[in-house]
Amino acid sequence: MTDLPSRSRQLFDVIRDRSSVRAFARDPVPGELIRNAIEAAGWAPSPHGTQPWRFVVLESAAARERLAGAMASTWREQLLLDGQSPELVETRLQRSRERLTRAPFVVVLCLFLGDAQPYPDVERTRAETLMAVQSLGTAAQNFLLALHAQGLDSGWMCGPLFCPDVVRAALDIDSGLEPQAMFPVGRAAAAPKRRPRRTPDQLIAGWQ
């Protein structure tokens, strides 16, 4: 990478150092750090500036247990449907449950389309929804980077996409919110395993 101003180097350091963490220590985390990360998410780009996302923060052990238990039965059915052995299924379920219950916080990210631009045709309505989903990803990235910059760790879990109604019911989430992802937040119990990244030359499909 070429030489960068000090401010840019700090940003690139945060981006490169962030990892997806699956094992968390039970050390407490100040709630203010979660708020800071959600504020950072609010600065992500979004269609028409609507910020089509909302965060549901689970701090209590009861709420995290409730979510883990509610999702377990659905995920068990899906894994068995995939042909995985019952023993492997239970092992994977236990690991997932530990991620949700050991981390001091679990944050559920939801799509909110209540402020979406209305259109009379299906094509533009679909595009508006897609823009909202894309921008939700940018909010999630801001959230994860802000956590890391504050000394916290997390990992992106897509489970809510496969059972949004289950998550909504377990947490009594408003029907206007669509659960999309969840992030256990805390401090890593061990150094995470990092997967290799492609080089810029491998990622650039064209330069015209």
pLDDT band at 8 (very low <50, low <70, confident <90, very high): confident
| Separation CA 6–CA 180 (nearest Å) | 35
Listed as own residue / partner, the contacts of 60-63 with beta carbons closer than 8 Å and 24 or more positions apart are: 61/101, 63/106, 63/171
Q: Is the pLDDT of residue 2 over 70?
A: no
How large is the average pLDDT for residues 128-133?
96
Phi, psi values for residue 186, rounded to 5°: 180, -145
What's the whole-model pTM score?
0.91
pLDDT tens-digit map of 15-34: 999 999 999 998 999 999 99
pLDDT tens-digit map of 107-120: 999 999 999 999 99
pLDDT of residue 75: 86
| Separation CA 146–CA 77 (nearest Å) | 35
Q: For the chain, which domains are there?
A: 28-187 (3.40.109.10)
pLDDT tens-digit map of 71-125: 988 888 888 888 989 889 888 888 888 989 999 999 999 999 999 999 999 999 9
Give residue for tokens 């919110």: 177
pLDDT band at 173 (very low <50, low <70, confident <90, very high): very high
pLDDT of residue 32: 97
Q: Is the pLDDT of residue 5 over 80?
A: no
CA distance from start to end of the chain? 21
Nearest to 53, CA basis, from 135, 171, 162? 135
Give residue for tokens 């990622």: 203
For residue 104, give both structure tokens: 């001091």
Nearest to 103, CA basis, from 183, 37, 35? 183
Tally of residues, the chain: 208
pLDDT band at 3 (very low <50, low <70, confident <90, very high): low
Give residue for tokens 């883990």: 68
Q: Is the pLDDT of residue 4 over 80?
A: no
Q: Is the pLDDT of residue 157 over 90?
A: yes
Nearest to 63, CA basis, from 98, 103, 102, 106? 106
pLDDT band at 49 (very low <50, low <70, confident <90, very high): very high
| Separation CA 18–CA 153 (nearest Å) | 8
Pairing of strands 53-58, 105-112: antiparallel
pLDDT of residue 77: 86
Q: Is the pLDDT of residue 139 over 80?
A: yes
Q: Is the pLDDT of residue 1 over 60?
A: no
| Separation CA 164–CA 177 (nearest Å) | 9
How large is the average pLDDT for residues 158-185?
96
pLDDT of residue 10: 85
